[in-house]
Chains A and B, each alone.
Chain A
């Protein structure tokens, strides 16, 4: 028959015939295996670790306000599966967000967002937004003073949005407490969203290929399966570090929350917003956050020149450096600012 294929011997051949795994051996540039170009893959590995450790955590966490903080405290005293899972989950979350940010910085530095990859940059900004939302909901779930104050800020911002925020308001559902709804968002809604957006992200990477190093369009090629093998090695290093940190620096659980006081600072990704709130209050917090994401999404429009080499992109790189330094500066400023100081010197001038 014309359709008869030549049968290859062996188990691998049988699997490959049915799953088409050898199609993964397409060519990618050799620099895909360098650390800067593997950051996206490393963040993906972190996400997988988060998913697995999260599944274990769901066996021990009780997502109701009366019990949430206590259920986390119960995980802490003995070193067992629960404490291990919590530590792994915490540190994988830190690694995830750091590698995502570094990945975006690399994309910007190598001008990998330029034509024809503009859409994938926007998809990446959407992924960043979902990642931040995951981090935020995760920090609320432990239901300690810091998580509760995070939620209070979120609800205050929600008030400013009026009807747009109704779904997220405590009053939306009388039967399900807001904490439970945030838990469902954290373990189902947001992971589903990130999964589907990642499919689009990977499809666009496959379609456009891994971007070249600026000024070096050629170069040696290797197989994508080799890139996957390299990612596995990075994953081993990553998992090792996470395990070590889990034991030596386990995450703290704060006191059960008391309403009406504001004494904690947010975790590091939100410290810049803490500094901004000191100057412009909650309303400013909303606008700054929105502006930051909109401007990030518009990067391909703001830097549309065809140039990719750094000497030809000095203005863009300088602006990027300003943004990064501003972020770092705001983190440091918030770090040294006392928790209760939310009215800074700027307001005393404007009042």
Chain B
């Protein structure tokens, strides 16, 4: 009798949970919220930064990049951006030259001193190959510092904004570490086998 009661309670609970999950799922679908909001920014600087980041992340995202470049060229807030470079970048993108597009976008971001509007045709920032002006570190969404032109003070180390991948190069330290790892694996397996 106790088992029957127990199993009935368990079945009831199971049913209730399944129903709750179904209701929750239905309710969740009624109000879809996208984490990424789905809206483009209105200022040219953010649009160009996003375009550059998209290309760095995935060179195939040309449609999304073009959308942002088009928006940047018609933006009412072009501060901090060399629009001529953006125009050239759009042409390079259309011709399929991703590398040139990325270089032009890097040159298009202009350092602006705090409190002064960005000149429309500044001289190119002196960058070595493979570097671009570092955008200010992103602040959490919703904060006042989310979009701010890069000031001269913020322009520190120039690094290309793309993933950094380390590789095995066979140095003494790497080889020693692999060897130590192998010794540990073998020793551990031998001891486990003996300990059975």
Contacts and interface: CB of A to CB of B under 8 A. Distances in A.
Contacts of B136: 66
Contact of A77 (B13, B58, B141, B166): B166
Nearest to B18: A295
A70 B181 CA distance: 29
B164 A252 contact: yes
Contacts of B27: 283, 287
B188 interface: yes
A246 B137 contact: no
A70 B157 contact: yes
B10 interface: yes
B84 interface: no
A236 B191 contact: yes
B180 interface: yes
B61 interface: yes
A166 to B, nearest CB: 13
Interface range, A side? 35 or more
Nearest to B171: A79
Nearest to A243: B181
B116 interface: no
Given A65-B137, A262-B35, A233 B191 contact: yes
Given A68-B137, A70-B159, A240-B188, A260 B36 contact: yes
Contacts of A244: 177-178, 181-182, 185
Interface in A94-150: 143-145, 148-149
B57 A255 contact: yes
A263 B184 CA distance: 40
Contacts of A79: 166, 169, 171, 173-174, 177
B177 A246 contact: yes
Interface in B1-55: 3, 6-7, 9-10, 13-14, 17, 20-21, 24-25, 27-37, 40-41, 46, 49-50, 52-54
B159 A73 contact: yes
B71 to A, nearest CB: 12
Contact of B178 (A153, A247, A279): A247
Given A291-B21, A346-B29, A340 B178 contact: no
A298 B20 CA distance: 14
Contact of A234 (B7, B139, B162, B188): B188
A267 interface: no
Nearest to A84: B177
Interface string A328-341: 00000000000110
A247 B174 contact: yes
Contacts of B188: 233-238, 240
B123 interface: no
A311 B50 CA distance: 57
A286 B50 CA distance: 27
A83 interface: yes
Contacts of B139: 65, 170, 177, 259
B118 interface: no
A229 interface: yes
Contacts of A248: 168, 178
Contacts of B162: 255
Given A79-B174, A263-B57, A287-B25, A247 B33 contact: no
Contacts of A239: 181, 184
B185 to A, nearest CB: 4
B29 A350 contact: yes
A76 interface: yes
B195 interface: yes
A155 to B, nearest CB: 6
B41 A260 contact: yes
Contacts of A260: 36-37, 40-41, 46, 50
A165 interface: no
A208 to B, nearest CB: 20
Interface string A277-300: 101111110111001001100100
Contacts of A177: 139-140
Contacts of B195: 33, 229-230, 233
Given A246-B177, A247-B174, A346-B29, A263 B138 contact: no
B140 A170 contact: yes
A156 B37 CA distance: 10
Contact of B35 (A152, A241, A279): A152
Given A170-B143, A257-B53, 12 more contacts: A69-B137, A70-B159, A252-B165, A256-B138, A256-B161, A261-B36, A263-B61, A281-B28, A281-B29, A303-B10, A340-B64, A350-B29
